[in-house]
């Protein structure tokens, strides 16, 4: 009896000792799991803060590049130096704003008055407004670049204003400004895990996934939150992510519960040694899994950061290419103006040569050598030919009226052949052409229709360089209300990898090309209510383009 009581007492003591040991073990498991989960959460919050900071820095770098490019733009400097027609500049700012996703871009003169703006045609346009009181304007006059975070005087929406002075020599002509709004970025932050706040140099919240905190003091991390900070060195701001620690608590509870279940299952039939061995093995496996998970997470975040940096470098390279292409396009526009001027200057002496030749022909004595009259006739024919060429050049370079009306397709086609005749003679090409009825009319504008036809003929001619039997085939097909012209050649054709980029701006395979000809031609055809397309590319079988127009 006493032995049983002693044995029972020993079992109770052993049971209590095992229970106490189990409780201590569960407490240790919870502490370790919670500490490990917090460490992992801290790493994730740090990576998240750095990624968000890099995304914000990349957006600001892109917008700084926009104002820097505009500050060097010749058209912008010319409008500031000689204020006049500002609509072309406003349209250019509007296109650039669409491409770069800025809120608004505008141009201020030295007095702070807005001469042009991307919202020039909106009811709340900035054009004519006075911004001389803005710090981003006064600072840019003194130090070339400036920035200011403030509420918009018109939109009453907060944003970061980036400015860059426009210089001509040592003189400041004005200031280019872009406003960057962060509504989309803040919305993306709000959808993510944890609250995100950005503070300026004074510790004031300027951006936040919680709009009610904007322009207030930076809140302290609340209970159950972990703060991770990333610096924004380009503007002196600081980004903070408040990550909730509840997931770490939940993970620790789940880990502790798992260990408790394991202990309960082992307690029914395993001894102290086996339980200790299982406990050690479970702990070692958990630590290995944690280290492996942590290593995978770090590797994944590192890869994401590398990809982000690569995309940023690629964006900067594309921006540099775009700037070079814009400069080339401006050169081509200037070349067109020069050609129009030369044609205008040639007309007057050409008319004088023709008049004098006609007078000389009429004044020839009857016994004059026949060669003299023949030479004068040749001079008259050549002056007529030069006159037609200069007339077409002046018409081609004249600014389009934007009026779509019934237009003679035959006249436009003959004019395009005349404009390209010199190039065709420099490298002879056989041209197979249709007979176009003189009374056939299409809905178009003569000057721009000639521009489309000239582009197609020149492209076909350039594709035939070095061919032993160069040939350009032009065909016409009539439908109920449509006229289709096809221009094809027997050149090398279009490579499949190039075919998808034919109508992408600035995409070109020519060393001296700018990649705008087909893009402009397609847009002109669409303005006419028609279309311009390329037949499916078959490399080695030549290229074929179809111009479809409405029949008048």
* Distances, alpha carbon 527 to alpha carbons 29, 414, 478, in Å: 73, 22, 20
For position 112, what pLDDT does the model report? Answer: 93
Indicate the range of 2-11, 303-312, 349-358 predicted with least confidence: 2-11
SS3 of the chain: helix, strand, coil, percent, to 5: 55, 20, 25
Residue 453: inside a domain, yes or no?
yes
3-state secondary structure of 11: helix
Q: Are residues 309 and 420 in the same domain?
A: no
Are 380 and 356 spatial neighbours (Cβ–Cβ below 8 Å)? no
CATH number of the domain to which 416 belongs: 3.30.565.10
Enter the tokens of residue 302. Answer: 């590192």
pLDDT at 404 exceeding the cut of 80: yes
pLDDT at 543 exceeding the cut of 70: yes
Q: Residues 387, 391, 393, 394: is their CA dihedral positive or negative?
A: positive
pLDDT at 200 exceeding the cut of 90: no
Enter the tokens of residue 489. Answer: 């050649």
Strands (E), 32-120: 104-109, 114-117
For position 400, what pLDDT does the model report? Answer: 54
> DSSP letter string over 245-298?
SHHHHHHHHHHHHHHHHHHHHHHTT--HHHHHHHHHHHHHHHHHHHHHHHHHHH
Residue 313: inside a domain, yes or no?
yes
Q: Are residues 302 and 409 in the same domain?
A: no
Out of 322, 353, 387, a domain closes at: 322
Residue 139: inside a domain, yes or no?
no
Q: Are residues 308 and 406 in the same domain?
A: no
Q: Are residues 427 and 542 in the same domain?
A: yes
Q: What is the pLDDT of residues 487-498, one digit of tens each?
A: 999 988 888 778
At residue 506, φ and ψ (nearest 5 deg) are: 70, 10
Q: What is the pLDDT of residues 492-527, one digit of tens each?
A: 888 877 877 888 877 676 665 556 788 889 999 999
Distance CA 10, CA 26 (A): 24
Residue 334: inside a domain, yes or no?
no
Out of 258, 289, 322, a domain closes at: 322
Residue 299: inside a domain, yes or no?
yes
pLDDT at 2 exceeding the cut of 80: no
Task: Using only the alpha carbons of the chain, give its radius of gyration.
Answer: 38
For position 399, what pLDDT does the model report? Answer: 52
pLDDT at 325 exceeding the cut of 60: no
For position 388, what pLDDT does the model report? Answer: 60
Q: First vs last Cα of the chain: how many Å apart? A: 121
Are 124 and 98 spatial neighbours (Cβ–Cβ below 8 Å)? no
For position 84, what pLDDT does the model report? Answer: 80
Out of 288, 307, 322, a domain closes at: 322
DSSP state of 434: -
For 141, counting Cβ atoms within 10 Å of its Cβ (0-12 exposed, 13-18 middle, 19+ buried), the class is middle
Question: What's the domain count of the chain?
Answer: 2
Residue 420: inside a domain, yes or no?
yes
Q: What is the mean pLDDT of the chain?
A: 83
Q: What is the pLDDT of residues 35-76, one digit of tens each?
A: 787 788 778 778 878 888 888 888 888 889 999 999 899 889
For 204, counting Cβ atoms within 10 Å of its Cβ (0-12 exposed, 13-18 middle, 19+ buried), the class is middle
Q: Are residues 407 and 546 in the same domain?
A: yes
Residue pointed to by tokens 């020149």: 458
Q: Are residues 421 and 542 in the same domain?
A: yes
3-state secondary structure of 522: helix
Distance CA 141, CA 286 (A): 62
Distance CA 303, CA 323 (A): 30
Are 201 and 55 spatial neighbours (Cβ–Cβ below 8 Å)? no
Residue pointed to by tokens 């395979």: 509
At residue 496, φ and ψ (nearest 5 deg) are: -55, -35
Q: Are residues 437 and 532 in the same domain?
A: yes
Highest mean pLDDT among 35-49, 169-183, 214-228, 511-525: 169-183
- pLDDT more than 70, % of the chain: 87
pLDDT at 341 exceeding the cut of 80: no
pLDDT at 3 exceeding the cut of 70: no
Enter the tokens of residue 57. Answer: 């820095």
For position 398, what pLDDT does the model report? Answer: 55
Q: C-alpha 372: how far from its chain's center?
A: 65
Enter the tokens of residue 11. Answer: 């079992």
For position 511, what pLDDT does the model report? Answer: 61
For 293, the domain range is 2-65+248-322
Residue 262: inside a domain, yes or no?
yes
Q: What is the pLDDT of residues 257-313, one digit of tens each?
A: 887 888 788 877 766 787 888 888 888 898 899 888 888 888 888 888 888 888 887
């Amino acid at each position: 009896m006493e032995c049983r009581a002693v044995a029972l007492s020993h079992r109770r003591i052993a049971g209590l000792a095992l229970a106490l040991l189990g409780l201590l073990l569960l407490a240790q498991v919870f502490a370790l799991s919670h500490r490990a989960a917090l460490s992992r959460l801290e790493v994730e919050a740090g990576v998240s803060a750095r990624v968000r900071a890099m995304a914000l820095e990349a957006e600001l770098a892109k917008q700084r590049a926009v104002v820097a490019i505009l500050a060097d733009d010749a058209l912008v400097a010319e409008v500031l130096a000689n204020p006049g027609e500002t609509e072309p500049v406003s349209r250019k700012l509007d296109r650039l704003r669409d491409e770069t996703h800025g809120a608004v871009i505008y141009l201020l003169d030295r007095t702070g008055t807005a001469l042009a703006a991307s919202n020039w045609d909106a009811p709340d346009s900035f054009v004519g407004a006075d911004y001389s009181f803005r710090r981003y304007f006064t600072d840019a006059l003194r130090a070339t670049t400036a920035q200011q975070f403030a509420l918009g005087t018109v939109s009453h929406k907060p944003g970061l204003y980036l400015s860059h002075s426009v210089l001509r020599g040592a003189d400041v002509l004005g200031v280019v400004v872009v406003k960057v709004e962060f509504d989309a970025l803040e919305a993306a932050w709000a959808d993510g895990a944890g609250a995100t706040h950005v503070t300026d140099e004074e510790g004031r919240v300027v951006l936040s996934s919680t709009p009610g905190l904007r322009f207030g003091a930076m809140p302290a991390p609340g209970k159950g939150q972990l703060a991770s900070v990333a610096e924004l060195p380009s503007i002196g701001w600081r980004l903070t992510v408040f990550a909730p620690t509840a997931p770490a608590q939940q993970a620790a509870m789940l880990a502790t519960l798992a260990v408790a279940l394991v202990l309960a299952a082992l307690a029914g039939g395993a001894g102290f040694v086996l339980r200790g061995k299982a406990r050690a093995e479970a702990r070692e496996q958990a630590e290995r899994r944690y280290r492996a998970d942590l290593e995978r997470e770090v590797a994944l975040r590192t890869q994401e950061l590398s990809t982000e940096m690569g995309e940023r470098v690629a964006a900067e390279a594309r921006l540099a290419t775009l700037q070079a292409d814009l400069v080339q396009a401006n050169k081509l526009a200037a070349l067109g103006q020069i050609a129009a001027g030369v044609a205008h200057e040639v007309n007057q002496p050409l008319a004088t040569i023709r008049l004098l030749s006609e007078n000389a022909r009429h004044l020839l004595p009857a016994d004059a050598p026949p060669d003299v009259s023949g030479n004068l006739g040749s001079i008259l024919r050549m002056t007529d030919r030069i006159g037609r060429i200069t007339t077409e050049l002046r018409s081609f370079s004249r600014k389009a009226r934007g009026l779509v009306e019934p237009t003679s397709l035959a006249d436009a086609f003959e004019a395009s052949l005349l404009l390209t005749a010199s190039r065709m003679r420099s490298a002879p090409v056989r041209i197979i052409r249709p007979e176009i009825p003189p009374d056939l009319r299409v809905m178009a504008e003569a000057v721009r229709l000639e521009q489309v036809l000239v582009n197609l003929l020149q492209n076909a001619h350039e594709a035939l360089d070095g061919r032993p039997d160069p040939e350009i085939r032009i065909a016409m097909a009539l439908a109920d209300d449509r006229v289709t012209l096809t221009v094809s050649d027997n050149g090398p054709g279009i490579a499949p990898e190039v075919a998808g980029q034919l109508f992408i701006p600035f995409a070109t395979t020519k060393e001296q090309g700018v990649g705008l000809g087909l893009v402009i031609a397609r847009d002109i055809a669409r303005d006419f209510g028609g279309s311009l397309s390329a037949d499916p590319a078959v490399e080695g079988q030549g290229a074929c383009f179809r111009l479809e127009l409405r029949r008048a």
